[in-house]
Amino acid sequence: MAVFARLISSRFMRSVLRTAVPLVVVLVAVMVVGAVMAPDGRGATYRLLVNFLITVVIVVALQMFTGNSGIVSWGHAAFVGIGAYSTAWFSVPMVIKEDIFPGLPAWMMGAEWGLVPCLLVSTAIGALAAAVVGLAICRMKETAMAMSTLGLLVIAHGIYSNWEGWTRGTEGVYALPTNTTIYIACGFACLAVLLAVMFKYSRVGLRLQASREDPLSAESTGVSVVRARYFAWVASAAMSALAGSLWAQFNLAFGPAQFYYAQVFAILSMLVIGGLATVSGALVGAGITTVIFEVLRGVENEGNLFGIEVPQISGLAQMILALITLLILIFRPNGLLAWWELDGWIVKARDRFWKGGRKLAPDAGEKGGE
């Protein structure tokens, strides 16, 4: 009990709670909206909100690695894919599985598991794959790592598209059971946020951020940069695989194209728009991007913007999103939230409001250049 009290009062836990609580509140609010608007768990809004919550898990997972290490990963979509495919192997009804996954060994053929075992096994497979790949990737220089993660994406896509007996190639997979509800999605989004915040404030997280700022002086300060990167790589890949499993058990049918270029771009945009360095940024970016995408997809498919007719343009949503990302990079290169979590911004706003902006925010100093 005393240990617990000490933990709660430690600087670490205080920081974690201060940052995580506002984010969890936002996520729960999203869930409440969904649950109230669609109590039967149907409809476009419900689907949108659940997919948003799952997207949060994906973006937060990527933030854990890329945000703290400063190394871009194109490869995380591959881990989302691993989560989705392994969920399919263990959950699709046997009669269909014999048809679409003829290559599976007998013991997997029979498996028709529920939500939790599927999540566990997908996360484990994702973590294992990342642990193996990471041995090579995490030793490289930053630029080579970026290239290798891109290579990883291409390799994974090649496997998903061609490994007929296990993935059904480009035709894709179907008939997964619906297990992910808005409550489950929200629960995991909150868990992901909490873990990512804890990671950021942990010792490994701190070391990794130091290596992001200056790998060489981090090394000289005693940071094993490779080890810090490896840890984050495996953890964030495992979280991505978990998200993939959640996603598969909600969207029920998918193919290799779902884990490729367009998705990678969408996820990276979310991170860039909100700001790489913070977990809050990942969440804000996911929210903004989801809204933009929804509005523009309406335009694209129906040629209709708030009731005004506009000409139909293919790929418009993606183009606008890319343009916004580019503008953010030029005019606010660290993203909307830059270096401060939501709680930091709340404190700043409060100080400016009540103290007429005279006093510096206790958090992180306002004169810090951006």
Nearer to another protein, 105 or 369 (CB): 369
Map residues 41-70 to x or -, x wherever contact with another protein holds by CB under 8 A: -----------------------------x
Determine if 322 is a binding residue for another protein (CB under 8 A): yes
Residue 38 CB neighbours (<10 A): 18
Determine if 3 is a binding residue for another protein (CB under 8 A): no
Map residues 327-366 to x or -, x wherever contact with another protein holds by CB under 8 A: --xx--x-----x----------------------xxxx-
Determine if 323 is a binding residue for another protein (CB under 8 A): yes
Determine if 314 is a binding residue for another protein (CB under 8 A): yes
Map residues 251-280 to x or -, x wherever contact with another protein holds by CB under 8 A: ----------x---x--xx--x---xx---
Q: What is the 3-state secondary structure (H, E, C) of 235-261?
A: HHHHHHHHHHHHHHHHHCCECHHHHCH
Neighbouring residues of 109: CB distance < 8 A, sequence distance ≥ 6: 94, 97, 98, 101
Neighbouring residues of 69: CB distance < 8 A, sequence distance ≥ 6: 208, 211, 212, 228, 229, 232
3-state secondary structure (DSSP) of residue 12:
helix
- Give the C-alpha separation, 259 to 191, whole Å: 23
Map residues 145-184 to x or -, x wherever contact with another protein holds by CB under 8 A: -xxx-xx--xx--xx-xx----------------------
Nearer to another protein, 217 or 301 (CB): 217
- Give the C-alpha separation, 243 to 221, whole Å: 35
- Give the C-alpha separation, 168 to 361, whole Å: 56
Determine if 25 is a binding residue for another protein (CB under 8 A): no
Could you say which residues in the range 5-24 bind another protein, by CB under 8 A?
Answer: 11
The residues binding another protein (CB under 8 A) are 11, 70-72, 135-137, 139-144, 146-148, 150-151, 154-155, 158-159, 161-162, 203, 206-207, 209-210, 213-214, 216-225, 261, 265, 268-269, 272, 276-277, 313-316, 318-319, 321-323, 325-326, 329-330, 333, 339, 362-365, 367-369
